[in-house]
Structure 1
Amino acid sequence: MADAFYVPLGDERYAATEHTSGPWAPGAQHFGPPSALLVRGLERLEAPHPSLIARVTVDILGPAPVAELAQRSWVERPGRSVELLRSELSAGGKLVARATAWRIATSDTSAVATDAGPLLPSADAGTETAFPEDWTGGYLNAVEWRAVRGGISAPGPAAVWGRQRVPLVDGEEPTGLQRLFAIADSGNGVSHFLPGREWLFINSELTVHLRRVPEGEWIGLDAVSLVGPHGVGTATSTLHDDSGPVGTGAQALLIRPRQAEGG
């Protein structure tokens, strides 16, 4: 098995490795790696001027198998100041995920930039965090996790740092945005408070708003999950690098007792 999440096969096709497998179903990927692969496709779209991806929404249209994925990316709405980008992933001819992004032309606003908010304690100050006993999958072990408040194995809000142990695509160094999206889809797992053997708390999408591109290998998640009375919840995260918050992430959650599965 290649020491990466994906092996490029040419023609925008990628073989997913076991490092992508998630805890929810055998043979299905955790959606951190596919989210990062979608962002990689968006980043590779040529920009006519200096610009920054300001918002990405990843819609999860079905399970992504640990198998070959095909990708296509394009500029859906070009513009001088604001552009709408799109990327899609398919498996076996079936669309499994799509991402849309707003890319905004950059300018110098350093004189009016606001305080991003408090820093998290550094990853060096954190402790390695364990997972609930029933959580398995290559993705969890392909990321180094360190908790600075709460923990993945403990229920409730938590702040953790994550660092990829393997690259996104074999032979490539991940960009800051790719590193961020490989971690950002874990907000609901980091801040879970329901036992996974009894409850589903899976996300149907991930939306990230960014103010700048993160730097360094470590991505911080300061996450909380909230559940309403009708089977719908949200997981929200403040996303960090070593210098402070870089943006916010949010996930719409399906909340359901496992005995009620099937729809």
Structure 2
Amino acid sequence: MGPPSALLVRAMERLPESRPGGAEAGWRLARASVEVLGMVPAGPVTVTAEVERPGRTIELLSATMSAGGRDVLRARAWRLAAGDTAGAEQGAVAPLPGPGTGTIRTERPDGWLPGFLDATEWSWLGGDELGALGPARTWVRLRVPLVDGEEPTPAQRLMVAADCANGVAAPLDVRKWLFVNTELTVHLHRAPEGEWIGVDAATVIGPDGLGTCSATLFDEHGHTGRSGQALTVRPR
């Protein structure tokens, strides 16, 4: 659901501010959440967006993706006015080693489907790789545009990478188990920059069919945010 989630963020990013002049230093995306209502088809979809809660310094945005006459994804985002807090900056975790230090892996593990993996580039850290079980760290970037002829924004790239977290930290063999996220929530303390997004992810599986995946997110300048996913877990 990474690229569809990024399309929803794209629609919300393009919404004009409701009260011009309220955010003199610009706006920042602070949180984006996407609820998965159904399967997103490999075909035409419609995306709509609106400002739900207008304001001079705080706005709540929403977007919906529909296909075949029904909603398949719904998103909300808090857009906050930027300000100068450089003197109070604190709490960020140490940066990941850069994507140039990782191992580029292009092979697709057994059981993983083509399509999305072929449209992304991966640089794995510390010997990690797709298909290995347990926590992992990697960098990911898009090989193709999200929208033809248009450069994706860093926030759109980050949404794609964040949705990969439960695959990056695959807890179980995908040939035997499903661990599908029903939502994606991203919190940002700094606007991401650049093409590469780093993901340091870990998954917890409970005893009764539920799981959670949490990730720390990076760009090449350092820590930029965190993500979480609720998982439904069941044998194939």
Give the TM-score category using the shorter length. over 0.9
How far does residue 200 in structure 1 lie from its aligned partner after superposition?
0.7
The answer to whether residue 217 in structure 2 is matched with residue 217 in structure 1 is no
**Aligned equivalents of 1:243, 1:124: Cα separation in 2:** 13
Q: Over residues 188-233 of structure 1, what are the superposed CA-to-partner deviations in whole Å (9 max), with x where a residue is unaligned?
A: 0000121111111000000000011111110000000101111110
Q: Within 5 A, what are the aligned runs for 1:107-186?
A: 107-129=83-105, 130-149=107-126, 150-186=128-164
Q: Within 5 A, what are the aligned runs for 1:198-209?
A: 198-209=176-187
**Aligned equivalents of 1:67, 1:211: Cα separation in 2:** 34
> What is the aligned-residue RMSD (CA, Å)?
1.0
The answer to whether residue 41 in structure 2 is matched with residue 65 in structure 1 is yes
- Map of 1:5 onto structure 2: none
How far does residue 94 in structure 1 lie from its aligned partner after superposition?
0.9
Matched length: 228
SS of residue paired to 1:35: helix
How far does residue 112 in structure 1 lie from its aligned partner after superposition?
0.4
Matched residue type, 1:40: R
Q: Over residues 141-163 of structure 1, what are the superposed CA-to-partner deviations in whole Å (9 max), with x where a residue is unaligned?
A: 10001100322121110000001
- Map of 2:235 onto structure 1: 257
- Map of 1:97 onto structure 2: 73
**Aligned equivalents of 1:155, 1:72: Cα separation in 2:** 38
- Map of 2:62 onto structure 1: 86
**Aligned equivalents of 1:120, 1:110: Cα separation in 2:** 21
SS of residue paired to 2:5: helix
Matched residue type, 1:101: A
The answer to whether residue 160 in structure 2 is matched with residue 190 in structure 1 is no
- Map of 2:210 onto structure 1: 232
Instruction: State the identity %.
Output: 51
**Aligned equivalents of 1:157, 1:224: Cα separation in 2:** 4
**Aligned equivalents of 2:146, 2:160: Cα separation in 1:** 8
**Which range moved further: 249-258 or 115-124?**
115-124
Runs of 4+ in 1 over 3 A off after TM superposition: none
How far does residue 115 in structure 1 lie from its aligned partner after superposition?
4.3
- Map of 1:74 onto structure 2: 50
- Map of 2:219 onto structure 1: 241
SS of residue paired to 1:138: coil
Q: Over residues 228-247 of structure 1, what are the superposed CA-to-partner deviations in whole Å (9 max), with x where a residue is unaligned?
A: 11111000010000011100
- Map of 1:6 onto structure 2: none
**Aligned equivalents of 2:62, 2:91: Cα separation in 1:** 31
Matched residue type, 1:121: P
**Which range moved further: 113-122 or 136-145?**
113-122
How far does residue 128 in structure 1 lie from its aligned partner after superposition?
2.0
